[in-house]
Amino acid sequence: MSDAPIYHIDPAKFWADPYSDLANMRRDAPIAYVPELNATLLTKRDDVFVQEKRTEVFSSKQPGGLMTLLMGENMMRKDGAAHMAERRAIFPTVSPRTVRDVWKAQFEAATGAVLDRIGARGSGDLVTDFALPVAAEALKAITGLTDMPYLEMDRVSQGMIDGISNHAGDPAIEAHCHDCTASIDAHIDARMPTLKAKPDLSLLSVAMKADMPEEQIRANIKLAISGGQNEPRDAIAGTIAALLDHPDQLQMALSGDVTWLAVFEEYARWMSPIGMSPRRIARRDTINGVTFEPEDRAFLMFGSANRDADIFDAPERFDVTRDTAKAVSFGAGPHFCAGAWASRCLIAEVALPMFFERLKSVALSEPAIFGGWAFRGPLSVKAKWLVQ
Q: Which amino acid belongs to residue 126?
A: L
Confidence check: pLDDT of 64 > 90: no
**Residue 168, pLDDT score:** 78
Burial of residue 326 (number of CB atoms within 10 Å: 0-12, 13-18, 19+) = middle
CA distances from 204 to 74, 76, 192, 225, 352 (A): 14, 17, 8, 12, 28
Per-residue pLDDT averaged across 56-78, rounded?
A: 88
**Residue 44, pLDDT score:** 98
User: CA 280 to CA 295: how far, in whole Å?
Assistant: 6
**Residue 223, pLDDT score:** 93
Cα distance from N-terminal residue to C-terminal residue, the chain:
59
- Residues 38-56: tens digit of each pLDDT: 999 999 999 999 999 999 9
Per-residue pLDDT averaged across 63-72, rounded?
A: 87
**Residue 165, pLDDT score:** 82
User: CA 2 to CA 19: how far, in whole Å?
Assistant: 23
Do the Cβ atoms of 42 and 51 come closer than 8 Å? yes
Record the pTM: 0.94
Per-residue pLDDT averaged across 110-136, rounded?
A: 97
Per-residue pLDDT averaged across 222-229, rounded?
A: 92
Confidence check: pLDDT of 315 > 80: yes
Confidence check: pLDDT of 109 > 90: yes
Confidence check: pLDDT of 307 > 80: yes
Confidence check: pLDDT of 334 > 90: no
- Residues 350-386: tens digit of each pLDDT: 999 999 999 999 999 999 999 999 999 999 999 999 9
Task: List the domain boundaries for the chain.
Answer: 11-384
Confidence check: pLDDT of 132 > 80: yes
User: CA 39 to CA 297: how far, in whole Å?
Assistant: 5
Do the Cβ atoms of 59 and 279 come closer than 8 Å? yes
**Residue 227, pLDDT score:** 85
pLDDT-based confidence at residue 24 (cuts at 50, 70, 90): very high
Share of the chain above pLDDT 90, in %: 88
Confidence check: pLDDT of 338 > 90: no
**Residue 276, pLDDT score:** 94
Per-residue pLDDT averaged across 106-125, rounded?
A: 97
Confidence check: pLDDT of 388 > 80: no
| β-pairing verdict for 382-384 and 123-125 | antiparallel
The CATH class that applies to domain 11-384 reads: mainly alpha
**Residue 302, pLDDT score:** 97
Q: What is the mean pLDDT of the chain?
A: 95
**Residue 4, pLDDT score:** 98
- Residues 151-210: tens digit of each pLDDT: 999 999 999 999 988 877 899 999 999 999 999 999 999 999 999 999 999 999 999 999
Q: Which of 200, 214, 205, 239 is nearest to 320 (CA)?
A: 239
Strand partners, 125: 382
- Residues 266-296: tens digit of each pLDDT: 999 999 999 999 999 999 999 999 999 999 9
Per-residue pLDDT averaged across 131-155, rounded?
A: 97
